[in-house]
């Protein structure tokens, strides 16, 4: 008994036809509404199921970007005489928000892989314990971060050199946002739980409904009640509370293996360690990634307002496209986690190959669209011809870099599906963050122009792709017993 308990959360594959039938039933079983609980990742065609998984994930990320942009637009148009300071206040918090959210999205990926692996092994008890542990981690982690953030809010904003005329509004936004961290993180962990069984549509539906609520509340509180940034912040928190409660209700009323029993909520030590082992490296990678991009933004800011506007316009397009590319990495990690747990390592290799094929086709198509219509896309955000030209330069160089991003993102997702998370995280930090920080520190001062800054994107991503793919060749996890 002790040996079984010890290996409950490791990537110990199992085999046998009865085991395979058991694991299929865990994800192919109808829930209380009569619908299938998720995608059967363990047998049958892979290509269409990867698309069924990835496209809703991409749509979810794109909706989040659009709703965030809408919030900025609302506060910029309905804050009266303080509209400029209000937009700056929201923007001043973007780094803090990105840092915290990226950290915990990475940790939630650990929950996704651990649960998917347990489902692949047909271990109902391990699934139940990991799901309940993940729910508690989200809420407790959110509360701890909120308390720390509230205590250090002023110091954090001053450290970021927020101007004195923006600081009061930025502080209001940050403090309200921090209050909502528990429900914001809860949604991300719940979405990861649903994705572990291949259900990517439910988080998308919850986000879509919450997004409409967010826009409506933002308009009501900002335009109607004149709450300025407080209105947008409250709308963000309340809409996230709504989406997290929708998903929690779904989890408590499903008959699938990820069902949550609120009366049985408790932390399982082994599940916690397994989630943190995979999730913390991924989370720190995302957090350091955000830090490196702040360094780049500082260099961009030194080149004047036209360059800043052009870069910002291009970034809006990039952020939407990246959600599509990155969704295949999440699909690869989840499909690999389930199939490795089921002892189907040959199928894991097919998953990786199909994810690469589909992601490359979509990436190439998007790059072609951007090269053809990039100027027109940029005019949605800026009208100055110089800004459009500068923005197009960014689009070309960044989207070339996305070719390499696909290579390392999928390799990282594949390795994480086998429980190997620290190595790809360290290599990504070295390749992406190390290269970008070094480039801005040593190359940019000698060649102070926008193209020099943007060159770091394809260069850093190419270096990272070589490092991570090299680690994949070294580990060859699907050939290990």
Write the pLDDT tens digit of every residue in 65-111.
888 888 888 888 888 777 778 888 887 788 788 888 889 999 999 99
Write the pLDDT tens digit of every residue in 104-132.
999 999 999 999 999 999 999 999 999 99
pLDDT at 78: 86
Q: pTM score, two decimals?
A: 0.86
Question: Exposed, middle or buried, 70 (CB in 10 Å: 0-12/13-18/19+)?
Answer: middle
Write the pLDDT tens digit of every residue in 444-457.
999 999 999 999 99
In whole numbers, what is the pLDDT of the chain averaged over residues? 89
pLDDT at 280: 94
Of 5-14, 303-312, 406-415, highest mean pLDDT: 406-415
19 vs 38, 44, 58, 122, 477, CA distance in Å? 18, 16, 32, 7, 22
Q: Are 96 and 234 in contact (CB under 8 A)?
A: no
434 vs 99, 107, 440, 454, CA distance in Å? 17, 22, 10, 15
Phi (first) and psi of residue 30, to 5 degrees: -65, 145
* 349 contact partners, CB below 8 Å, separation of at least 6: 478
pLDDT at 14: 52
Does residue 7 carry a pLDDT above 60? no
Q: Are 104 and 282 in contact (CB under 8 A)?
A: no
Does residue 27 carry a pLDDT above 60? no
- Say how many C-beta atoms besides its own lie within 10 A of residue 448's C-beta: 11
Q: Per the structure block, which two tokens stand in for 368?
A: 């072609």
Query: Residue 240: which of 38, 104, 58, 67 has the closest Cα?
Result: 67
* 339 contact partners, CB below 8 Å, separation of at least 6: 41, 42, 120, 345, 347, 348, 351, 417
Phi (first) and psi of residue 14, to 5 degrees: -120, 165
Does residue 22 carry a pLDDT above 60? no
């Amino acid at each position: 008994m002790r040996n079984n308990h010890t290996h409950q959360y490791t990537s110990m594959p199992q085999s046998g036809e009865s085991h395979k039938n058991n694991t299929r039933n865990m994800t192919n079983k109808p829930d209380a509404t009569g619908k299938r609980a998720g995608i059967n990742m363990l047998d049958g065609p892979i290509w269409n199921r990867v698309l069924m998984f990835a496209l809703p994930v991409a749509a979810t990320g794109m909706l989040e970007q659009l709703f965030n942009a809408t919030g900025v637009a609302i506060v910029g148009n309905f804050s009266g005489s303080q509209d400029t300071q209000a937009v700056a206040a929201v923007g001043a918090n973007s780094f803090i928000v990105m840092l915290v959210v990226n950290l915990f999205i990475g940790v939630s990926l650990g929950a996704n892989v651990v649960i998917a692996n347990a489902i692949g092994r047909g271990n109902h008890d391990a699934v139940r314990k990991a799901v309940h542990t993940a729910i508690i981690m989200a809420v407790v982690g959110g509360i701890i971060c909120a308390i720390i953030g509230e205590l250090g809010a002023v110091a954090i904003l001053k450290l970021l050199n927020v101007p004195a005329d923006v600081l009061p509004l930025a502080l209001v936004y940050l403090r309200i946002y921090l209050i909502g961290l528990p429900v914001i993180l809860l949604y991300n962990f719940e979405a990861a739980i649903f994705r572990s069984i291949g259900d990517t549509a439910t988080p998308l539906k919850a986000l879509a409904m919450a997004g409409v609520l967010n826009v409506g509340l933002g308009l009501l509180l900002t335009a109607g009640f004149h709450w300025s940034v407080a209105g947008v912040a409250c709308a963000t928190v309340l809409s996230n509370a709504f989406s997290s409660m929708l998903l929690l209700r779904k989890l408590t009323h499903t008959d699938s293996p990820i069902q949550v029993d609120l009366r049985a909520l408790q932390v399982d030590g082994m599940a916690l360690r397994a989630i943190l082992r995979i999730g913390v490296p991924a989370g720190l990678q995302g957090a350091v990634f955000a830090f490196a991009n702040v360094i780049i933004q500082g260099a961009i800011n030194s080149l004047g307002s036209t360059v800043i506007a052009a870069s910002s316009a291009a970034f809006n397009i990039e952020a939407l496209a990246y959600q599509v590319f990155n969704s295949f990495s999440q699909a690869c990690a989840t499909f690999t986690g389930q199939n490795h747990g089921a002892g189907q390592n040959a199928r894991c290799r097919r998953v990786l190959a199909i994810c690469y094929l589909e992601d490359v086709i979509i990436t190439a198509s998007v790059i072609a669209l951007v090269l053809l219509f990039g100027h027109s896309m940029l005019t949605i955000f800026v009208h100055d011809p110089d800004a459009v030209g500068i923005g197009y330069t960014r689009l070309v160089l960044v989207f070339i870099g996305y070719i390499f991003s696909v290579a390392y993102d999928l390799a990282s997702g594949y390795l994480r599906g086998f429980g190997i998370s620290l190595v790809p995280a360290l290599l990504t930090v070295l390749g992406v963050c190390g290269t970008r920080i070094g480039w801005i520190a040593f190359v940019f001062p000698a060649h102070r122009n926008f193209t020099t800054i943007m060159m770091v994107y394809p260069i850093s991503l190419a270096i990272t792709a070589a490092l991570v793919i090299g680690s994949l060749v070294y580990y060859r996890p699907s050939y290990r017993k």
